[in-house]
Chains A and B, each alone.
Chain A
């Protein structure tokens, strides 16, 4: 392949930057950094959520912690719980943050099995003696439970009447007729919401974590009413807002938050009960500042901090001995022993072992 061609005029490559200078400069900056750190106050790096969560967390937990202990906290708002754990695993426990402040029980379980999370007892975190009795058995002792939520049912109050039980969600055609077609949402099992909703479906059919067949049957039947499938809770929010999804399982905290923000939704606990979610936190084994990390976890369980954070974020507290909650808070949160007893928490070990198979079953049904 050839042709005659014209000569073109010469040109200059723009910007004569010396690559060597840049690399040397970068190396110098990298090497220089440790010297700076030694002169500044003690630091702690905390990883949690971003978005709306961040300012709440900073105001009610981070800044008070900085003030009380005279330290500086670097906040990292990236990653879902499982993404954070992927980083913990890839880095063999030294992911660059000292506290993984928002994990869920599956990650804590993995952390225990893989020895990537620090053991946490009343010695490291004294406030553990004040938490719900249930918190101590829910997860292996390499994490703490710092708040609770539950799987609520939410509905568009302008479009449909309130659902009564989980059956209204799983058999929407029977409850609402054809009008609700395409307006139901289903979550990918990557989200615990999906798993919990499926477990409730199994219970409707007389099954449970040990027998999920009723759930698959209900899912197959529900499919024709489902108009939206998303993975993360955040992805679902716009659909609630613009009225495209009328019925959904959703985390209580975010549901209440969005209701307060003006979304046309209402929130309730279904009459046939629901499954709770334990919000966990842990310290990776390779954390740079473990002592301060333990203090942080302990601080988070302090009554004042618990009160401030949970009121703003709309989650339920980690300890039963806080009594001066406002009435409207108490109406939708887990604050009494009775409520805690009524909440179902599945065996996380069983969940961990079955989750992969359940995910594949879900995918096969939804894809086919």
Chain B
């Protein structure tokens, strides 16, 4: 017997969630409004209407760093997810000396302001003769470092919450270890893996403080481009660029979801029991 969706607790939940969604969308809607502002002044409510800022935001001047950021973030997402999943398996399933050391190590990039990590990495690369890495490779390394804790964390949570008897059941039914991995473990923790990849992608795409130090003239993420402009002034173009920087990754995540449908991740209640 499944709980009725018209009962009071569920309805109050929906109200609460609706309020929280309003909270989430508030600043974003305002930014969107500013991006259509008729004048160059940054007032709200917007005066007049203009698509000119969007036109400029789509020009090559902004499209180039945007594409660079997307490319970098995608690569970082893949690297971070693969590495993080491996590490998560070892941390959750394995028993070895120094486990808590590794766990603490993973907290470092989260707690330390990315600014510090950026300066440290830049200084280090120059000190060890890898100064040619500054730019794409340096950014890849730096972003992978700050994104790794995310993928480890989410996969670990998924692994921990997954009951071990699942795998035991599959194994006892005759599946090979690799088969169990492929058909039971990975699908079950897919939510965690996907969450980790999303986090990594987004964290890389939106990072600015580390990127300032590891970017080079040809390799500049869009966040650094925005900051460069912002340090000098403001124009509604920035609002338009921010909206694009928000919409494109969301669309990408939505597209990926076509291949890995959300429904399968989220234990839809319609699924039959084993």
Complex contact flag A–B (Cβ < 8 Å)? yes
Q: A residues within 8 Å of B by Cβ?
A: 1-15, 17, 19, 22, 26, 29-30, 45, 49-54, 74-80, 83, 86-87, 90-92, 94, 96-97, 232, 234, 237-238, 241-242
A147 to B212, alpha carbons, bound, how many Å? 27
**Nearest neighbor of A2 in chain B, beta-carbon distance:** B163
Give the distance to chain A from B130, nearest Cβ to Cβ, in Å: 11
Given contacts A11-B264, A90-B213, contact A50 B228 (CB under 8 A): yes
The interface residues of chain A lying within 8 Å CB-to-CB of B157 are none
A8-B188, A14-B259, A79-B228 known; 5 other A-B pairs, CB under 8 Å? A9-B187, A9-B264, A11-B261, A92-B126, A234-B234
Contact between chains at A15 and B231 (CB < 8 Å): no
**Nearest neighbor of B42 in chain A, beta-carbon distance:** A238
Let me know if B240 is at the binding interface, CB within 8 A: no
Contact between chains at A11 and B137 (CB < 8 Å): no
A12 to B190, alpha carbons, bound, how many Å? 10
Give the distance to chain B from A13, nearest Cβ to Cβ, in Å: 7
Contact between chains at B137 and A26 (CB < 8 Å): yes
Contact between chains at A86 and B119 (CB < 8 Å): yes
Contact between chains at A51 and B137 (CB < 8 Å): no
Let me know if B216 is at the binding interface, CB within 8 A: yes
Of the residues B182, B229, B260, contact of A51 by C-beta under 8 Å: B229
Among the stretches B51-59, B91-99, B147-155, B266-274, the one at the interface with A is: B266-274
Give the distance to chain B from A150, nearest Cβ to Cβ, in Å: 20
Of the residues A4, A90, A96, A241, contact of B163 by C-beta under 8 Å: A4
Contact between chains at A237 and B271 (CB < 8 Å): no
Give the distance to chain B from A38, nearest Cβ to Cβ, in Å: 16
**Nearest neighbor of B78 in chain A, beta-carbon distance:** A19
Task: List B residues 74-91 near A (Cβ within 8 Å).
Answer: 75, 78-79, 82
**Nearest neighbor of A50 in chain B, beta-carbon distance:** B228
The interface residues of chain A lying within 8 Å CB-to-CB of B230 are 51, 234
The interface residues of chain B lying within 8 Å CB-to-CB of A78 are 212, 215, 220, 224-225, 227-228, 231
The interface residues of chain B lying within 8 Å CB-to-CB of A241 are 41-42
